[in-house]
Amino acid sequence: MIRFGTNPIAWANDDDQTLGAHISTEQILSEAHDIGFDGIENGHRWPDEPEALKQLLGSHGLAFVSGWYCLNLLERSVEDEKKAIQPHLDKLKHNGCEVCIVCETSNSIQGSDSVGLNDKPVLPDDQWATFGAQVEEIGKYCADQGIKMVYHFHMGTIVQTPAEIDKLMTSTGPNTYMLFDTGHCYFGGGNPAAVLEKYIDRVAHFHAKNVRPDLMNDVFSNNRTFMDGVRAGVFTVPGDMDGGVDFGPCLKLLAQAKYSGWIVIEAEQDPVARNPFEYQSLGLKTLKTLSKDVGLIA
């Protein structure tokens, strides 16, 4: 079963909370429901208490899709990481979530206002085997509790480029699934359809994110920060003619693989410059149309 979700960062950004600060929580949830989404991912506005979260989203007819968790395996032990992630897993289980979204952020520059993307952290080749084994152990810990751990490769982190995605996937095992993000794949220098086809059997969550190529190129040419790009509007939704991601081939691959799960529009933009209701509506309409065309949904 395919369900379509969104992320509150289209309305109120998590890394720069001045973006969308004027938009109420009620507006975010009401608009997400009215647009036609089945669920929504985590955001800094939501309560951490599992039942309070369930009641808040449920009162707007929305399921809790999942939430981002910051791994810190480069700085602490696997056992400490298990203890740290447990409250998050408890929240996911209480809300019926099927996946736990993780990303190593101990040395990430994604939220930095001073370090450009060209200077992102790089994990030395001789550390990948150990790091991968640690990630896999956390994946097994999640799996033992009925949750699939999905790794979110992300700009500004040690898993950004296609080569780094390859290193992660080859150094981990069957308990490490992929959150495939079209936008971060494209921004990181990959061909989304080609990378997705390579790892389709390990994809358990899907982010439909679009990228404006001119703004992406400006970020790299001038070594701007990730957040500079976000504020400028480097990301957008499926269906935006300014975007460079071709979603049709990706959705066709999901259909051929009989993918079952969430397809989430995660496209942060300045809500003052680009109305979230209008853009999210365009994104969902585009995804549903393309999904029908390729047989992903009826």
Nearest partner of 71 among 84, 86, 55, 90, judged by Cα: 84
The Cα–Cα gap between 149 and 98 comes to: 9
Beta bridge partners of 181: 207
- Three-state DSSP class for 48? coil
d(CA 99, CA 67): 9
Alpha-carbon distance of 184 to 199, in angstroms, equals 15
| Domain regions of the chain by residue span | 2-293
Report percent pLDDT > 90 for the chain.
100
Q: Retrieve residue 266's tokens.
A: 């995660």
With bands split at pLDDT 50, 70 and 90, how would you rate the model's confidence at 13? very high
The reply to whether the predicted model has a pTM over 0.85 is yes
Pairing of strands 176-181, 39-40: unpaired
**Residue listed under structure tokens 């298990």:** 82
Evaluate whether 11 touches 20 at the Cβ level (below 8 Å): yes
* pLDDT at residue 57, as a whole number: 98
| Ramachandran angles phi, psi of 98, nearest 5° | -105, -20
Q: In CATH, which of 3.20.20.150, 3.30.2310.20, 3.30.390.50, 3.40.50.620 is domain 2-293?
A: 3.20.20.150
Contact by Cβ (8 Å): 99, 66: yes
Model confidence band, residue 189 (pLDDT cutoffs 50, 70, 90): very high
What is the token pair recorded at 126?
């001789």
Closest by alpha carbon to 262, among 10, 37, 29, 27? 37
Confidence of residue 258 (pLDDT cuts 50, 70, 90): very high
